[in-house]
Amino acid sequence: MKKTARQFTVEDIKRFAGIIMDAIKNEGPIAKVSASTQHKVGDIPRWNMPPLVTCGGNCKACKFNCYALKDYDNYRVKAVSKSHARNFNAVRTDVDKVEAYLTKWILRHSPAFFRIHASGDFDVPGMGAKYAQMWYNVAKACPNTKFLAFTKAWDVVRQVPFYELPNFSLVLSEWTDVLEAPEDLKALYPTSRAVKVIEDAHEDEIICPGNCETCGMCWALKDLGHNIAFEIH
């Protein structure tokens, strides 16, 4: 069955942005890893940030179909916005404290896989590359866990050598024919491309089967020597 892509309007985006900013304003800096069941990501532990405000300028390419924004338009909106806001505020208040918390949590629970940003990205306003560097430090301190992050924050991740870490899979997020990753970064990292129909996938792109728990290919793309494509949904 063909997937139906959600198309948000300008009014939707403005409403979601208001929800996000209101949550950031009213939620304190309490960081927390999420491990509850979520479609596609499943029970793989993850750390999320607010969409839109951490995605930088490249957000305009995909925000009207943003997967993460679906949670801002259903019954889960209050819990989701609070969780994202607390992580965002914790990072901006004391990034070193968040790094210590995440390192301790991952070492204690020893997950085989960890997903960074099922929502959000590395471009935290006013922090430059400090937040991305925090994740580099966490992954280096937790060599038995494999980390995965998709990103459109080219200028930020260019400053942090994630390619040095054998347990870190950084995947550059491209968007149909609208947004393509810079060539210098594509020389270092694999790409993930959102396509309107799966027939638009390139020959070097693996097709996303849609369930991270039973797949795990994205954590090994650089070892497999492939890029990946998924249908906008």
Chain segment 66-77, per-residue pLDDT in tens? 888 988 988 889
Position 68, amino acid: A
Q: What is the arithmetic mean of pLDDT over 172-186?
A: 88
Statement: residue 186 has pLDDT above 60 = yes
Q: Is 35 helix (H, G, I), strand (E, B) or coil?
A: coil
pLDDT exceeds cutoff 50 at 41: no
- Angle, alpha carbons 89-43-198 (nearest 5°): 95
Closest C-alpha to 221, from 168, 161, 165, 159 = 168
Ranges of beta strands (E only) in the chain are 46-47, 113-116, 146-151, 168-175, 191-195, 205-207, 227-231
Q: Out of 55-59, 76-80, 157-161, pick the least confident.
A: 55-59
Q: Are 124 and 134 in contact (CB under 8 A)?
A: no
Calculate mean pLDDT across residues 142-166.
96
